[in-house]
Chains A and B, each alone.
Chain A
Amino acid sequence: EPEVTQTPSHQVTQMGQEVILRCVPISNHLYFYWYRQILGQKVEFLVSFYNNEISEKSEIFDDQFSVERPDGSNFTLKIRSTKLEDSAMYFCACSTRTGANVLTFGAGSRLTVL
């Protein structure tokens, strides 16, 4: 069964450092997303991406965050200068054109900011 692959599975970083989380979505999916889940809290929408541009972003997705699809297969989330409160599980997700609301999630990347 096609799956969404995320790397790294866990990253520990110092506050202020840049972090890039990587995702390989399902090959024929056209919509891409990042969600995050702070420990013990709800899964929250960060950003949606379609046709090489951001479709929508949440209030969480401030200037410290950026997304990119650099090579047609990878989809990355960059946090320029991490803060303690960025510690969370970050999930990449994707969907097809016809089933745009049915998201397939990756296993997540756990980010720990010290």
Chain B
Amino acid sequence: GQQLNQSPQSMFIQEGEDVSMNCTSSSIFNTWLWYKQDPGEGPVLLIALYKAGELTSNGRLTAQFGITRKDSFLNISASIPSDVGIYFCAGQATTDSWGKLQFGAGTQVVVTP
């Protein structure tokens, strides 16, 4: 079956440091999405990517759609305490229908002052 691997599983960083996480897939994706989930809440969209090689920023967040269409990364620059949360990659494989997303297992980010 299709697999989507996200790493690292968790990161403990100091305020001001940069954070990087990535996802790889066994299938070709036509969309990559990055979500953040706070405790007890639903995933909130951070960045959407639609084209191989696409590099998109949203404030201190930058994400890229890998040229092989099987991977994506998310960078957070100059982390602040409110960056704490779980970050999920999600994507739609070319063989799946609209809106049927596969999610990574998440990267838990902890920021210490």
List residues of A whose CB falls within 8 A of some B CB: 4, 31, 33, 35, 41-45, 48, 50, 55-56, 91, 93, 95, 99-108
Q: Report chain B residues within 8 Å CB of A106.
A: 42
Contact check, A103 vs B45: say whether CB atoms are below 8 A apart: yes
Q: Report chain B residues within 8 Å CB of A4.
A: 42
Contact check, A100 vs B99: say whether CB atoms are below 8 A apart: yes
Q: For the complex, give the distance between the alpha carbons of A93 and B43 in Å.
A: 10
Most A CB within 10 A of own CB, among B40, B43, B106: B43
Q: For the complex, give the distance between the alpha carbons of A106 and B37 in Å.
A: 11
Contact check, A42 vs B44: say whether CB atoms are below 8 A apart: no
B90 within 8 A of A: yes
Q: 19 additional contacts, CB 8 Å, given A41-B105, A101-B101?
A: A31-B99, A33-B99, A42-B103, A42-B106, A43-B88, A44-B103, A48-B100, A50-B98, A55-B98, A56-B100, A93-B99, A99-B48, A100-B99, A101-B98, A101-B99, A103-B45, A103-B99, A103-B101, A106-B42
Q: Report chain B residues within 8 Å CB of A56.
A: 96-97, 100
In the complex, which residue of chain B has the Cβ closest to the Cβ of A4? B42
Binary interface profile of B, 68-106, with partner A (CB < 8 Å = 1, else 0)?
000000000000000000001010100011111111111
Contact check, B90 vs A100: say whether CB atoms are below 8 A apart: no
Contact check, A55 vs B101: say whether CB atoms are below 8 A apart: no
Interface size class of B (residues with CB under 8 A): 20 to 34
Given known contacts A45-B100, A48-B97, A55-B97, A107 and B41 CB-to-CB distance under 8 angstroms: yes
Q: For the complex, give the distance between the alpha carbons of A48 and B105 in Å.
A: 21
Contact check, B105 vs A105: say whether CB atoms are below 8 A apart: no
In the complex, which residue of chain A has the Cβ closest to the Cβ of B103? A43
Q: For the complex, give the distance between the alpha carbons of A20 and B74 in Å.
A: 36
Contact check, A102 vs B98: say whether CB atoms are below 8 A apart: no
Contact check, B99 vs A95: say whether CB atoms are below 8 A apart: yes
Q: Report chain B residues within 8 Å CB of A31.
A: 98-99
B107 within 8 A of A: no
B22 within 8 A of A: no
Q: For the complex, give the distance between the alpha carbons of A33 and B100 in Å.
A: 8
Q: Report chain B residues within 8 Å CB of A93.
A: 42, 99
